[in-house]
Amino acid sequence: MNKNIEDILEEKVKEALKSLYGLSVEKVAFEKTKKEFEGDYTLVVFPYVKDSQKKPEDTANEIGTSLSITPEVKGFNVVKGFLNLVISDSYWLEYFISNPKTIIKKSTKTIMVEYSSPNTNKPLHLGHVRNNLLGYSVAEILKADGNTVIKANLVNDRGIHICKSMLAWKKLGNGDTPASLGIKGDHLVGKYYVAFDKNYKNEIEQLILTGSTKEEAEKNAPSMKEIQAMLLKWEAGDEETRQLWKMMNGWVYEGFAETYKKMNVDFDKTYYESNTYLLGKDVINEGLEKKVFQSRLDNSAFIDLTKDGLDEKTLLRADGTSVYMTQDLGTAIERFKEYPNLDNLIYIVGNEQDYHFKVLFLTLKKLGYKWADGLFHLSYGMVELPDGKMKSREGTVVDADELIDEMINTARETTKELGKIDGFSDAEAEKLYYTIGMGALKYFMLKVDPKKKMLFNPKESIDFNGNTGPFIQYTYARIQSIKRKAGENKGKIDQGVTPNEKEKNLIRYLHDYTKAVAEAASNYSPAVIANYVYELVKEYNQFYHDCPILKEEDEMKRTFRLQLSSQVGETIKRIMKLLGIEVPDKM
């Protein structure tokens, strides 16, 4: 069965509208019927009354009568201008027996999803966690929806911030390495970034005491002059500076790799700012020639977007150096050259950069790049923790490794308290703690709409009841336990089975899998499928409570319920995989 019921109904309604009223429509939309009314799908008929020249109720009755002669619709009822359609049991049963596992798309796109984008001067932090989990899941959902996806990471590995860590290590490091101190490389480099900042602030305070303004002190502090000189050396290719930069960045990359592995996120393509920061300078000349950009008297270049409700944006400084916007213009152009078939480029970046991306996209459109219409900024809200939770080493930022360790420890404590590791070896138990801890973290982060700011409570996320990862994982493990107890189940279901209402509800949810994935893909929102799988799991637990499975005496019913459980389990696993979450067979 390649078509779902909504596609079938849409075709039938189009035929009815043409036959009854000579009306041709491109799209027919259905809603789920409200619980207080009988039916599965509802058609709002008000848009068609002008052509029918009849009352909404009469129009709905005519369309309903036309549809009720099809095998998929066993009945209908009309409430004012709303036509409620009741789908036949035979359709639901046939759909279940056909056991569709793939999404069939008419066309596919090539989409690049850029996420993570860390700086190599400090470890990944709480904000990066949401970014990485969101980017990875969006990419997986787009793949499941039939697209070719390129997962990309742009590493900010050069510039003033990177030089701060380098200078502090050079002055204070005493040859320290991650191996000699027994810490991750990104944490070591982050330590020296903090050391630089502390020293720099002291220098500013001293200069202010001697009569400088704050602005003068920030500009003239010895440390600032030293890092500016170091950056110039780097740009000039100074061997000693480049070697120090390579060594410290190498430490950071090893640290990042560990954290990415813990989070189970990956990339198909990694770009480095050190290779892209000069991109875009040619774009300036292109923009000036097209009169899209303008020059100031000091030779700086800018684009005037005031008529578009934005402002003037400098794209090249007076000294000839580029700004981030210049680099982003050049990088976007290069990517579409590198991937000529690229349809969309999605940037996963926090909402503090909303304005930056408005300027970037509009500038590319004004330069005449048609593919600029395929650019999208998936802007997500900040993540906050409850007061007093998870104080970081520096007291300001919670790094990703601390958060992950905390989640695994909380999973260990909670799981032991609930006695869910009976019969587990130590290795199996540790694997389970990791699976539950990371499942709790990912699900809690992804069930919230990306655009919303969120409060993340580690303890609350590891609850085996409610809308949480562990609750869903536990239901999956319960289904696997039922299957193990039942043994091999090769029975076949025939049309003689009549699903009860609980069973039909589960089949309806299984049927909605394709729609949920498509909606999550079109909205770039893992929250859609996270909440879909939660509703599926709730429905299954109601079914499990009300309908005996292993104790069912009727062999056909027992086989049907076992296979229904199995399909629910497969769907849970597929959805959780799209969220980057593992599901355990035992729990």
The whole-number pLDDT of residue 537 equals 98
Amino acid at 557: K
What pLDDT, on a 0 to 100 scale, did the predictor assign at position 401? 94
**Alpha carbon distance 142, 300 (integer Å):** 41
Which DSSP symbol is given to 306?
A: G
Question: Given phi > 0 = left and psi -120 to 50 = alpha, else beta, which region is 182?
Answer: left
Task: Give the pLDDT score at 465.
Answer: 86
List Cβ neighbours of 146 (8 Å cut-off, separation of 6 or more).
Answer: 103, 104, 105, 108
Q: How sure is the predictor about 297, in pLDDT bands with cuts at 50, 70 and 90? A: very high
pLDDT at 393: 43
Q: What is the DSSP letter of 81?
A: T
The model's pLDDT over 464-523, given as tens digits with 9 standing for 90+, comes to 888 999 999 999 999 999 999 998 766 677 667 889 999 999 999 999 999 999 999 999
Whether the per-residue pLDDT at 411 is higher than 80: the answer is: yes
* C-beta neighbour count of 417 within 10 angstroms: 8
Task: Please report, for the chain, how many H helices and E strands are present, in that order.
Answer: 23, 14
Neighbouring residues of 412: CB distance < 8 A, sequence distance ≥ 6? 433, 437
Residue 383 is predicted with a pLDDT of 86
User: What fold is seen in the domain 5-87?
Assistant: Gyrase A; domain 2 (3.30.1360)
Vertex 258, ends 433 and 392: CA angle to 5°? 75
| CB-based burial, 239-276: b 16+ in 10 Å, e otherwise | eebeebbeebbebbbebbeebbebbebebeeebebbeb
Q: At what angle do helices 222-235 and 160-172 cross, to 10 degrees?
A: 110
pLDDT digits (tens, 9 = 90+) for 440-455: 999 999 999 999 988 8
Average pLDDT over residues 23-33: 93
3-state SS record for 566-579: HHHHHHHHHHHHHC
CA distances from 156 to 62, 159, 257, 294 (A): 63, 8, 15, 28
Tell me, what's the pLDDT at 107? 62
Tell me the one-letter amino acid at 272. Y
Q: Which pLDDT tens digit goes with each residue over 130-176?
A: 999 999 999 999 999 999 999 999 999 999 999 999 999 999 999 99
Q: Which two tokens stand for residue 451?
A: 């655009």
Name the pLDDT band for 97 (thresholds 50, 70, 90). Answer: confident
Average pLDDT, the chain: 92
Tell the CATH superfamily of the 400-578 domain: Isoleucyl-tRNA Synthetase; Domain 1 (1.10.730.10)
Cβ neighbours for 559, distance < 8 A, ≥ 6 positions apart: 489, 491, 492, 493
The pTM (predicted TM-score) of the whole model is 0.92
CB 528 within 8 A of CB 453: no
Residue 392 tokens, joined: 């970081």
> Residue 360 and residue 499: Cα distance in Å, rounded?
55
Query: Is 3.40.50.620 the CATH classification of the domain at 110-380?
Result: yes
Residue 343 or residue 102, greater confidence: 343
The residue ranges of every structural domain in the chain are 5-87, 110-380, 400-578
pLDDT above 80: residue 101: no
Q: What is the pLDDT of residue 382?
A: 87
Residue 85 main-chain phi, psi, to 5 deg: -105, 135
* Confidence at 459, pLDDT banded by 50, 70, 90: confident
> Which tens digits make up the pLDDT trace of 222-242?
999 999 999 999 989 999 999
425 burial level (CB within 10 Å; 0-12, 13-18, 19+): exposed
Q: Using CA atoms, how far apart are residues 527 and 514, in angstroms rounded to an integer?
A: 15
Looking at residue 308, the DSSP 8-state letter turns out to be: G
